[in-house]
Amino acid sequence: MSTRLPSFTSEIELIAACRNNNRQAQQALFQKMAGKMLSVVKRYISNTSEAEDTLMEGFVKVFSKLDQYQGGGSFEGWVRKIMVNEALMSIRKNKDRYPVDIDVAFDLAHPDETLMQLGLQEIEQLIASLPTGYRTIFNLYAIEGYSHAEIAQLLAISEGTSKSQLSRARALLQNQLITLQL
Amino acid sequence: MKNWNSVEEKWREQLSNKSEDIPEGLWSRLEERLPERLEEKPSRRFPIYWAAAAMLLLALGLSWNWNPALEEGAAEVTRVIEKTEAPVEKAATSVSEALIVPTKATESTFTKARFERVSMEESPVNVVEESPKEEIVATVPATEKKDESPEIVTVRLDIDPIEEEEVKPAFTQQKRRKSLFGKIVGEIRQALDGEPVNWQKLKEGNASFENSIHTVANTYVKTEENLKRTLQIQ
Protein backbone atom coordinates (compact mmCIF):
# COMPACT_ATOMS: atom_id res chain seq x y z
CA MET A 1 0.00 0.00 0.00
CA SER A 2 3.02 2.23 0.15
CA THR A 3 3.17 2.58 -3.65
CA ARG A 4 3.11 6.20 -4.73
CA LEU A 5 0.18 6.68 -7.03
CA PRO A 6 -0.43 9.46 -9.54
CA SER A 7 -2.68 12.09 -8.05
CA PHE A 8 -6.03 12.70 -9.66
CA THR A 9 -7.17 16.28 -9.31
CA SER A 10 -10.84 15.48 -8.94
CA GLU A 11 -13.09 12.54 -8.19
CA ILE A 12 -14.57 12.81 -11.69
CA GLU A 13 -11.12 12.42 -13.19
CA LEU A 14 -10.41 9.44 -10.99
CA ILE A 15 -13.70 7.79 -11.92
CA ALA A 16 -13.07 8.43 -15.62
CA ALA A 17 -9.63 6.83 -15.37
CA CYS A 18 -11.10 3.83 -13.54
CA ARG A 19 -13.68 3.47 -16.30
CA ASN A 20 -10.80 3.23 -18.78
CA ASN A 21 -9.50 0.33 -16.75
CA ASN A 22 -6.50 2.34 -15.55
CA ARG A 23 -5.06 0.08 -12.87
CA GLN A 24 -3.32 2.91 -11.00
CA ALA A 25 -6.56 4.86 -10.82
CA GLN A 26 -8.36 1.78 -9.55
CA GLN A 27 -5.73 1.34 -6.87
CA ALA A 28 -6.06 5.01 -5.92
CA LEU A 29 -9.82 4.64 -5.63
CA PHE A 30 -9.43 1.49 -3.56
CA GLN A 31 -7.00 3.22 -1.19
CA LYS A 32 -9.32 6.16 -0.88
CA MET A 33 -12.45 4.20 -0.03
CA ALA A 34 -11.49 0.74 1.20
CA GLY A 35 -11.15 1.72 4.89
CA LYS A 36 -14.63 3.22 5.10
CA MET A 37 -16.17 0.44 3.10
CA LEU A 38 -14.56 -2.26 5.19
CA SER A 39 -16.12 -0.59 8.23
CA VAL A 40 -19.53 -0.72 6.51
CA VAL A 41 -19.13 -4.37 5.58
CA LYS A 42 -17.92 -5.30 9.07
CA ARG A 43 -21.11 -3.97 10.60
CA TYR A 44 -22.95 -6.69 8.69
CA ILE A 45 -20.34 -9.43 8.71
CA SER A 46 -18.46 -9.83 11.94
CA ASN A 47 -15.98 -12.38 10.62
CA THR A 48 -12.93 -10.36 9.47
CA SER A 49 -11.69 -12.57 6.61
CA GLU A 50 -15.23 -12.96 5.35
CA ALA A 51 -15.70 -9.19 5.53
CA GLU A 52 -12.47 -8.63 3.56
CA ASP A 53 -13.56 -11.10 0.94
CA THR A 54 -16.89 -9.33 0.64
CA LEU A 55 -15.06 -6.00 0.34
CA MET A 56 -13.00 -7.31 -2.58
CA GLU A 57 -16.07 -8.70 -4.30
CA GLY A 58 -17.70 -5.33 -3.80
CA PHE A 59 -14.79 -3.49 -5.41
CA VAL A 60 -14.75 -5.86 -8.37
CA LYS A 61 -18.42 -4.97 -8.82
CA VAL A 62 -17.70 -1.25 -8.42
CA PHE A 63 -15.04 -1.32 -11.16
CA SER A 64 -17.12 -3.40 -13.51
CA LYS A 65 -20.27 -1.32 -13.03
CA LEU A 66 -18.71 2.13 -13.08
CA ASP A 67 -20.44 2.86 -16.40
CA GLN A 68 -23.76 2.69 -14.58
CA TYR A 69 -22.82 5.52 -12.23
CA GLN A 70 -24.49 8.57 -13.74
CA GLY A 71 -22.95 11.11 -11.36
CA GLY A 72 -26.34 12.15 -9.99
CA GLY A 73 -25.71 11.38 -6.32
CA SER A 74 -22.61 11.04 -4.21
CA PHE A 75 -20.11 8.51 -5.48
CA GLU A 76 -19.37 7.32 -1.97
CA GLY A 77 -23.07 6.66 -1.44
CA TRP A 78 -23.18 4.64 -4.66
CA VAL A 79 -20.17 2.54 -3.60
CA ARG A 80 -21.62 2.09 -0.13
CA LYS A 81 -24.86 0.71 -1.61
CA ILE A 82 -22.89 -1.82 -3.61
CA MET A 83 -21.00 -2.87 -0.48
CA VAL A 84 -24.21 -3.24 1.53
CA ASN A 85 -25.76 -5.36 -1.23
CA GLU A 86 -22.64 -7.47 -1.39
CA ALA A 87 -22.71 -7.97 2.38
CA LEU A 88 -26.36 -9.00 2.23
CA MET A 89 -25.57 -11.46 -0.54
CA SER A 90 -22.75 -12.88 1.54
CA ILE A 91 -25.06 -13.33 4.53
CA ARG A 92 -27.62 -15.04 2.31
CA LYS A 93 -24.94 -17.32 0.88
CA ASN A 94 -23.91 -18.42 4.36
CA LYS A 95 -27.49 -19.39 5.12
CA ASP A 96 -27.83 -16.99 8.04
CA ARG A 97 -31.45 -16.35 8.70
CA TYR A 98 -32.57 -12.78 9.17
CA PRO A 99 -35.49 -12.68 11.60
CA VAL A 100 -35.27 -14.68 14.77
CA ASP A 101 -38.13 -14.54 17.25
CA ILE A 102 -36.99 -13.46 20.66
CA ASP A 103 -39.32 -12.34 23.43
CA VAL A 104 -38.21 -8.99 24.66
CA ALA A 105 -40.08 -7.22 27.42
CA PHE A 106 -38.65 -3.75 27.31
CA ASP A 107 -40.38 -0.45 26.95
CA LEU A 108 -39.07 0.69 23.57
CA ALA A 109 -40.51 4.19 23.60
CA HIS A 110 -37.73 5.61 25.73
CA PRO A 111 -34.21 4.35 25.22
CA ASP A 112 -31.76 4.33 28.06
CA GLU A 113 -29.83 7.58 28.46
CA THR A 114 -26.59 5.60 28.45
CA LEU A 115 -27.08 4.80 24.78
CA MET A 116 -26.52 8.46 23.99
CA GLN A 117 -23.22 8.50 25.88
CA LEU A 118 -21.64 5.56 24.13
CA GLY A 119 -18.43 5.93 22.21
CA LEU A 120 -17.78 4.64 18.69
CA GLN A 121 -16.17 1.39 19.82
CA GLU A 122 -18.95 0.67 22.29
CA ILE A 123 -21.61 1.30 19.67
CA GLU A 124 -19.87 -1.11 17.31
CA GLN A 125 -19.56 -3.70 20.05
CA LEU A 126 -23.23 -3.35 20.92
CA ILE A 127 -24.39 -3.67 17.33
CA ALA A 128 -22.06 -6.60 16.70
CA SER A 129 -23.62 -8.42 19.65
CA LEU A 130 -26.99 -8.58 17.89
CA PRO A 131 -28.00 -11.74 16.01
CA THR A 132 -27.43 -11.49 12.25
CA GLY A 133 -31.07 -10.92 11.35
CA TYR A 134 -31.66 -8.10 13.82
CA ARG A 135 -28.28 -6.61 13.13
CA THR A 136 -28.98 -6.48 9.42
CA ILE A 137 -32.30 -4.73 9.79
CA PHE A 138 -30.99 -2.34 12.44
CA ASN A 139 -27.98 -1.44 10.28
CA LEU A 140 -30.10 -0.90 7.20
CA TYR A 141 -32.69 1.24 8.95
CA ALA A 142 -30.80 3.11 11.67
CA ILE A 143 -27.33 3.47 10.16
CA GLU A 144 -27.77 3.38 6.36
CA GLY A 145 -31.09 5.17 6.43
CA TYR A 146 -33.13 2.74 4.31
CA SER A 147 -36.92 2.85 4.69
CA HIS A 148 -38.90 -0.19 5.78
CA ALA A 149 -40.23 -0.55 2.23
CA GLU A 150 -36.69 -0.65 0.85
CA ILE A 151 -35.59 -3.14 3.50
CA ALA A 152 -38.59 -5.32 2.73
CA GLN A 153 -37.64 -5.32 -0.94
CA LEU A 154 -33.95 -5.97 -0.26
CA LEU A 155 -34.51 -8.87 2.10
CA ALA A 156 -37.67 -10.19 0.46
CA ILE A 157 -39.71 -9.79 3.63
CA SER A 158 -42.82 -7.77 4.42
CA GLU A 159 -42.69 -4.20 5.71
CA GLY A 160 -44.41 -5.35 8.91
CA THR A 161 -41.69 -7.91 9.54
CA SER A 162 -39.05 -5.24 9.02
CA LYS A 163 -40.76 -2.95 11.54
CA SER A 164 -41.23 -5.63 14.17
CA GLN A 165 -37.66 -6.84 13.74
CA LEU A 166 -36.37 -3.30 14.20
CA SER A 167 -38.27 -2.82 17.45
CA ARG A 168 -36.99 -6.14 18.71
CA ALA A 169 -33.46 -5.16 17.71
CA ARG A 170 -33.81 -1.94 19.68
CA ALA A 171 -35.06 -3.82 22.69
CA LEU A 172 -32.24 -6.25 22.44
CA LEU A 173 -29.70 -3.42 22.22
CA GLN A 174 -31.01 -2.03 25.47
CA ASN A 175 -30.85 -5.47 27.00
CA GLN A 176 -27.30 -5.96 25.77
CA LEU A 177 -26.31 -2.68 27.36
CA ILE A 178 -26.87 -4.27 30.74
CA THR A 179 -25.38 -7.61 29.76
CA LEU A 180 -22.22 -6.10 28.37
CA GLN A 181 -22.03 -3.62 31.28
CA LEU A 182 -21.25 -0.70 29.01
CA MET B 1 -36.45 12.17 27.32
CA LYS B 2 -34.68 10.97 24.17
CA ASN B 3 -36.30 8.70 21.64
CA TRP B 4 -34.73 6.05 19.46
CA ASN B 5 -34.51 8.26 16.39
CA SER B 6 -32.20 10.72 18.13
CA VAL B 7 -30.05 7.86 19.47
CA GLU B 8 -29.78 6.35 16.00
CA GLU B 9 -28.98 9.70 14.43
CA LYS B 10 -26.10 10.17 16.82
CA TRP B 11 -24.82 6.68 16.15
CA ARG B 12 -25.12 7.25 12.38
CA GLU B 13 -22.98 10.38 12.62
CA GLN B 14 -20.35 8.60 14.65
CA LEU B 15 -20.25 5.56 12.40
CA SER B 16 -20.36 7.38 9.05
CA ASN B 17 -16.77 8.55 9.32
CA LYS B 18 -15.44 5.32 10.74
CA SER B 19 -12.63 3.87 8.69
CA GLU B 20 -10.93 0.51 9.19
CA ASP B 21 -7.26 -0.17 8.62
CA ILE B 22 -6.78 -2.03 5.40
CA PRO B 23 -4.53 -5.07 5.82
CA GLU B 24 -1.40 -5.32 3.67
CA GLY B 25 -1.78 -7.16 0.42
CA LEU B 26 -5.52 -6.63 0.13
CA TRP B 27 -5.07 -4.62 -3.07
CA SER B 28 -2.79 -7.28 -4.55
CA ARG B 29 -5.44 -9.88 -3.80
CA LEU B 30 -8.07 -7.71 -5.39
CA GLU B 31 -5.83 -7.03 -8.39
CA GLU B 32 -5.54 -10.77 -8.95
CA ARG B 33 -9.29 -10.99 -9.23
CA LEU B 34 -9.68 -7.89 -11.38
CA PRO B 35 -8.17 -8.90 -14.74
CA GLU B 36 -10.20 -12.03 -15.16
CA ARG B 37 -13.37 -10.32 -14.00
CA LEU B 38 -12.92 -7.22 -16.15
CA GLU B 39 -12.00 -9.26 -19.18
CA GLU B 40 -15.24 -11.13 -18.83
CA LYS B 41 -17.19 -7.92 -18.97
CA PRO B 42 -16.65 -6.51 -22.47
CA SER B 43 -19.53 -7.77 -24.47
CA ARG B 44 -19.47 -8.16 -28.22
CA ARG B 45 -20.36 -4.96 -29.94
CA PHE B 46 -21.87 -6.97 -32.75
CA PRO B 47 -23.44 -10.04 -31.18
CA ILE B 48 -22.98 -13.36 -32.92
CA TYR B 49 -26.67 -13.74 -33.76
CA TRP B 50 -26.68 -10.36 -35.47
CA ALA B 51 -23.66 -11.38 -37.51
CA ALA B 52 -25.40 -14.63 -38.46
CA ALA B 53 -28.54 -12.74 -39.46
CA ALA B 54 -26.49 -10.31 -41.55
CA MET B 55 -24.72 -13.18 -43.30
CA LEU B 56 -28.01 -14.88 -44.01
CA LEU B 57 -29.48 -11.71 -45.46
CA LEU B 58 -26.40 -11.17 -47.58
CA ALA B 59 -26.55 -14.72 -48.89
CA LEU B 60 -30.26 -14.37 -49.66
CA GLY B 61 -29.68 -11.07 -51.39
CA LEU B 62 -26.92 -12.49 -53.53
CA SER B 63 -28.83 -15.59 -54.50
CA TRP B 64 -31.89 -13.49 -55.27
CA ASN B 65 -29.99 -11.33 -57.72
CA TRP B 66 -27.92 -14.07 -59.24
CA ASN B 67 -29.36 -15.32 -62.50
CA PRO B 68 -26.89 -15.49 -65.37
CA ALA B 69 -29.48 -15.67 -68.14
CA LEU B 70 -31.36 -12.63 -66.93
CA GLU B 71 -28.19 -10.75 -66.26
CA GLU B 72 -27.19 -11.34 -69.86
CA GLY B 73 -30.54 -10.04 -71.07
CA ALA B 74 -30.37 -7.01 -68.84
CA ALA B 75 -26.83 -6.29 -69.94
CA GLU B 76 -27.91 -6.49 -73.54
CA VAL B 77 -30.69 -3.99 -72.94
CA THR B 78 -28.25 -1.63 -71.29
CA ARG B 79 -25.86 -2.01 -74.18
CA VAL B 80 -28.62 -1.25 -76.68
CA ILE B 81 -29.64 1.82 -74.75
CA GLU B 82 -26.08 3.01 -74.56
CA LYS B 83 -25.45 2.34 -78.22
CA THR B 84 -28.61 4.04 -79.37
CA GLU B 85 -28.78 7.09 -77.22
CA ALA B 86 -25.29 8.43 -77.62
CA PRO B 87 -24.89 8.09 -81.40
CA VAL B 88 -28.39 9.37 -82.08
CA GLU B 89 -27.60 12.57 -80.33
CA LYS B 90 -24.33 12.79 -82.12
CA ALA B 91 -25.83 12.03 -85.53
CA ALA B 92 -28.65 14.43 -85.04
CA THR B 93 -26.28 17.14 -84.10
CA SER B 94 -24.10 16.56 -87.08
CA VAL B 95 -27.00 16.54 -89.52
CA SER B 96 -28.36 19.73 -88.15
CA GLU B 97 -24.90 21.21 -88.29
CA ALA B 98 -24.55 20.30 -91.95
CA LEU B 99 -27.85 21.87 -92.85
CA ILE B 100 -28.45 24.60 -90.38
CA VAL B 101 -25.13 25.54 -88.92
CA PRO B 102 -24.73 29.01 -90.50
CA THR B 103 -28.09 30.24 -89.30
CA LYS B 104 -28.45 28.30 -86.11
CA ALA B 105 -24.93 27.60 -85.20
CA THR B 106 -25.50 27.72 -81.53
CA GLU B 107 -28.72 25.74 -81.45
CA SER B 108 -27.71 22.31 -82.43
CA THR B 109 -29.55 20.28 -79.92
CA PHE B 110 -31.19 17.03 -80.65
CA THR B 111 -34.73 18.22 -80.11
CA LYS B 112 -34.43 21.21 -82.34
CA ALA B 113 -32.66 19.35 -85.09
CA ARG B 114 -35.49 16.87 -85.28
CA PHE B 115 -38.18 19.35 -86.24
CA GLU B 116 -36.23 22.15 -87.86
CA ARG B 117 -37.22 23.16 -91.30
CA VAL B 118 -34.63 24.80 -93.39
CA SER B 119 -35.37 27.00 -96.35
CA MET B 120 -32.75 26.81 -99.07
CA GLU B 121 -33.53 30.27 -100.28
CA GLU B 122 -33.09 31.93 -96.98
CA SER B 123 -29.78 30.47 -96.02
CA PRO B 124 -26.62 30.35 -98.08
CA VAL B 125 -25.87 26.91 -96.83
CA ASN B 126 -23.59 24.33 -98.31
CA VAL B 127 -25.97 21.47 -98.18
CA VAL B 128 -24.41 18.12 -98.45
CA GLU B 129 -25.61 16.65 -101.71
CA GLU B 130 -27.19 13.33 -101.55
CA SER B 131 -27.61 10.90 -104.38
CA PRO B 132 -31.14 10.96 -105.84
CA LYS B 133 -31.75 7.38 -104.95
CA GLU B 134 -30.77 7.87 -101.39
CA GLU B 135 -33.83 8.54 -99.41
CA ILE B 136 -33.80 10.33 -96.19
CA VAL B 137 -36.64 9.03 -94.20
CA ALA B 138 -38.29 11.64 -92.14
CA THR B 139 -40.56 11.87 -89.16
CA VAL B 140 -41.91 15.32 -89.36
CA PRO B 141 -45.00 16.30 -87.44
CA ALA B 142 -48.12 15.87 -89.53
CA THR B 143 -49.04 19.54 -89.35
CA GLU B 144 -45.86 20.52 -91.07
CA LYS B 145 -46.18 18.04 -93.92
CA LYS B 146 -48.66 20.13 -95.86
CA ASP B 147 -46.22 23.05 -96.14
CA GLU B 148 -43.80 20.96 -98.15
CA SER B 149 -42.55 22.65 -101.32
CA PRO B 150 -39.72 21.83 -103.75
CA GLU B 151 -37.47 24.44 -102.17
CA ILE B 152 -37.74 23.04 -98.74
CA VAL B 153 -35.50 20.24 -97.61
CA THR B 154 -36.90 18.33 -94.79
CA VAL B 155 -34.65 16.18 -92.76
CA ARG B 156 -36.16 13.24 -91.11
CA LEU B 157 -34.37 10.95 -88.89
CA ASP B 158 -36.03 7.65 -88.53
CA ILE B 159 -34.54 6.64 -85.33
CA ASP B 160 -36.70 4.57 -83.18
CA PRO B 161 -36.41 5.95 -79.73
CA ILE B 162 -36.04 3.29 -77.14
CA GLU B 163 -39.37 3.27 -75.49
CA GLU B 164 -39.78 2.22 -71.94
CA GLU B 165 -42.23 -0.41 -73.03
CA GLU B 166 -39.49 -2.25 -74.83
CA VAL B 167 -37.35 -2.47 -71.77
CA LYS B 168 -40.29 -3.33 -69.61
CA PRO B 169 -40.37 -7.06 -70.34
CA ALA B 170 -36.89 -7.39 -68.90
CA PHE B 171 -38.09 -5.61 -65.78
CA THR B 172 -41.11 -7.84 -65.48
CA GLN B 173 -38.81 -10.77 -65.73
CA GLN B 174 -36.88 -9.50 -62.75
CA LYS B 175 -39.99 -9.86 -60.68
CA ARG B 176 -40.19 -13.48 -61.66
CA ARG B 177 -36.67 -14.21 -60.57
CA LYS B 178 -37.80 -15.79 -57.41
CA SER B 179 -39.84 -18.51 -58.98
CA LEU B 180 -37.26 -19.07 -61.69
CA PHE B 181 -34.52 -19.26 -59.09
CA GLY B 182 -36.58 -21.74 -57.12
CA LYS B 183 -36.98 -23.86 -60.20
CA ILE B 184 -33.27 -23.73 -60.93
CA VAL B 185 -32.49 -24.74 -57.35
CA GLY B 186 -34.98 -27.58 -57.68
CA GLU B 187 -33.32 -28.77 -60.87
CA ILE B 188 -29.88 -28.58 -59.27
CA ARG B 189 -31.11 -30.60 -56.31
CA GLN B 190 -32.55 -33.13 -58.70
CA ALA B 191 -29.20 -33.31 -60.49
CA LEU B 192 -27.40 -33.80 -57.18
CA ASP B 193 -29.76 -36.62 -56.32
CA GLY B 194 -28.68 -38.33 -59.50
CA GLU B 195 -31.95 -37.91 -61.30
CA PRO B 196 -32.05 -36.77 -64.91
CA VAL B 197 -32.72 -33.08 -65.35
CA ASN B 198 -34.66 -31.54 -68.18
CA TRP B 199 -33.20 -28.10 -68.56
CA GLN B 200 -35.41 -27.42 -71.55
CA LYS B 201 -38.37 -27.57 -69.16
CA LEU B 202 -37.08 -24.50 -67.43
CA LYS B 203 -37.07 -22.57 -70.67
CA GLU B 204 -40.50 -23.77 -71.64
CA GLY B 205 -41.96 -22.75 -68.36
CA ASN B 206 -40.90 -19.18 -69.02
CA ALA B 207 -42.23 -18.25 -72.39
CA SER B 208 -42.32 -14.58 -71.57
CA PHE B 209 -38.70 -14.78 -70.57
CA GLU B 210 -37.83 -16.13 -74.01
CA ASN B 211 -40.00 -13.46 -75.65
CA SER B 212 -38.25 -10.71 -73.82
CA ILE B 213 -34.90 -12.01 -75.05
CA HIS B 214 -36.21 -11.87 -78.61
CA THR B 215 -37.55 -8.39 -78.08
CA VAL B 216 -34.20 -7.24 -76.83
CA ALA B 217 -32.43 -8.87 -79.77
CA ASN B 218 -34.86 -7.32 -82.26
CA THR B 219 -34.43 -3.92 -80.73
CA TYR B 220 -30.71 -4.31 -80.92
CA VAL B 221 -30.76 -5.25 -84.62
CA LYS B 222 -33.24 -2.52 -85.44
CA THR B 223 -31.22 0.11 -83.67
CA GLU B 224 -28.03 -1.05 -85.29
CA GLU B 225 -29.62 -0.66 -88.73
CA ASN B 226 -30.80 2.80 -87.86
CA LEU B 227 -27.41 3.76 -86.67
CA LYS B 228 -25.79 2.55 -89.85
CA ARG B 229 -28.25 4.62 -91.84
CA THR B 230 -27.54 7.67 -89.77
CA LEU B 231 -23.85 7.24 -90.25
CA GLN B 232 -24.37 7.00 -94.00
CA ILE B 233 -26.13 10.35 -93.92
CA GLN B 234 -23.09 11.82 -92.30
Does the CB of A43 have a partner CB in chain B at under 8 Å?
Answer: yes
Does the CB of A148 have a partner CB in chain B at under 8 Å?
Answer: no
Residues A138 and A102 in one domain: yes
Which pLDDT does position B119 carry in this prediction? 42
Which pLDDT does position B222 carry in this prediction? 85
Q: Which residues of B touch A (CB under 8 A)?
A: 1-4, 6-8, 10-12, 14-15, 17-24, 26-27, 29-31, 33-34, 37-38, 41
- Residues from chain A that touch B27, judged by Cβ atoms under 8 A, are 1, 27, 30-31, 34
Closest-approach residue (CA) in chain A for B22: A35
Most confident segment among A167-176, B169-178, B224-233? A167-176
Residues A84 and A113 in one domain: no
The answer to whether position A64 is within a domain reads yes
Helix (H) or strand (E) holding B62: helix B48-65
- Residues from chain B that touch A65, judged by Cβ atoms under 8 A, are none
Is the pLDDT at B2 greater than 90? The verdict is no
In angstroms, the separation between the Cα of residue A117 and the nearest Cα of chain B is 9
Q: Percentage of chain B with pLDDT > 90? A: 0
DSSP string of chain A? --------SSHHHHHHHHHTT-HHHHHHHHHHHHHHHHHHHHHH---HHHHHHHHHHHHHHHHHTGGG--SSS-HHHHHHHHHHHHHHHHHHHTT--S----------SS--THHHH--HHHHHHHHHTS-HHHHHHHIIIIIS---HHHHHHHHT--HHHHHHHHHHHHHHHHHHHHHTT-
Residues A89 and A106 in one domain: no
A44-101 confidence digits (pLDDT tens): 998 888 999 999 999 999 998 888 888 778 899 999 999 999 999 988 887 655 554 4
Residues A92 and A121 in one domain: no
**Position B216 confidence tier, pLDDT thresholds 50, 70, 90:** confident
- In the predicted model, what is the mean pLDDT of chain B? 64
Residues A102 and A89 in one domain: no
If one compares B162 and B89, the residue with the highest pLDDT of the two is: B162
Residues A92 and A102 in one domain: no
If one compares B47 and A136, the residue with the highest pLDDT of the two is: A136
In angstroms, the separation between the Cα of residue A124 and the nearest Cα of chain B is 8
Query: d(Cα B116, Cα B196) in Å, to the nearest integer?
Result: 63
Question: Residue range B64-88: average pLDDT?
Answer: 57
Residues A102 and A84 in one domain: no
Q: Percentage of chain A with pLDDT > 90? A: 30
- Residues from chain B that touch A58, judged by Cβ atoms under 8 A, are none
Which pLDDT does position B99 carry in this prediction? 44
Which pLDDT does position B128 carry in this prediction? 47
Under a CB-based contact definition with an 8 Å cutoff, are residues A58 and B26 in contact? no
Last residue of a domain, which of A96, A129, A157?
A96
The answer to whether position A5 is within a domain reads no
Which pLDDT does position A68 carry in this prediction? 87
CATH number at residue A130: 1.10.10.10
Last residue of a domain, which of A62, A80, A96?
A96
How big is the A-B interface in CB pairs under 8 Å? 88
Which pLDDT does position A35 carry in this prediction? 92
Provide the number of structural domains found in chain A: 2
**Position B94 confidence tier, pLDDT thresholds 50, 70, 90:** very low
Which pLDDT does position A22 carry in this prediction? 85
Residues A172 and A105 in one domain: yes
If one compares A160 and B128, the residue with the highest pLDDT of the two is: A160
Of A21, A38, A56, the CB nearest to B38: A21
Residues A60 and A128 in one domain: no
Of A23, A36, A142, the CB nearest to B12: A142
The answer to whether position A28 is within a domain reads yes
The pair phi, psi for residue B169, each rounded to 5°, is -55, -40
Residue A39 and residue B29: Cβ atoms within 8 Å? no
Last residue of a domain, which of A76, A96, A116?
A96
Least confident of A155-169, B28-42, B62-76, B210-224: B62-76
Which pLDDT does position B37 carry in this prediction? 52
Residues A102 and A92 in one domain: no
Is the pLDDT at A155 greater than 50? The verdict is yes
Is the pLDDT at A39 greater than 70? The verdict is yes
Question: Residue range B43-52: average pLDDT?
Answer: 72
CATH number at residue A85: 1.10.1740.10
Is the pLDDT at B182 greater than 70? The verdict is yes
If one compares B207 and B223, the residue with the highest pLDDT of the two is: B223
If one compares B144 and A146, the residue with the highest pLDDT of the two is: A146
The answer to whether position A4 is within a domain reads no
Of A26, A38, A141, the CB nearest to B22: A38
Which pLDDT does position B43 carry in this prediction? 55
In angstroms, the separation between the Cα of residue A38 and the nearest Cα of chain B is 6
Does the CB of A109 have a partner CB in chain B at under 8 Å?
Answer: yes
**Position A3 confidence tier, pLDDT thresholds 50, 70, 90:** low
Residues A19 and A78 in one domain: yes
Which pLDDT does position A67 carry in this prediction? 86
Strands (E), chain B: 117-119, 152-154
Does the CB of A108 have a partner CB in chain B at under 8 Å?
Answer: yes
Q: Is the ipTM of this complex over 0.95?
A: no
The answer to whether position A173 is within a domain reads yes
Question: Residue range B111-117: average pLDDT?
Answer: 43
Look up the domain containing A140 and give its range: 98-181
Residue of B1, B13, B19 best to disrupt the A interface, most CBs of A under 10 A: B19
**Position B17 confidence tier, pLDDT thresholds 50, 70, 90:** confident
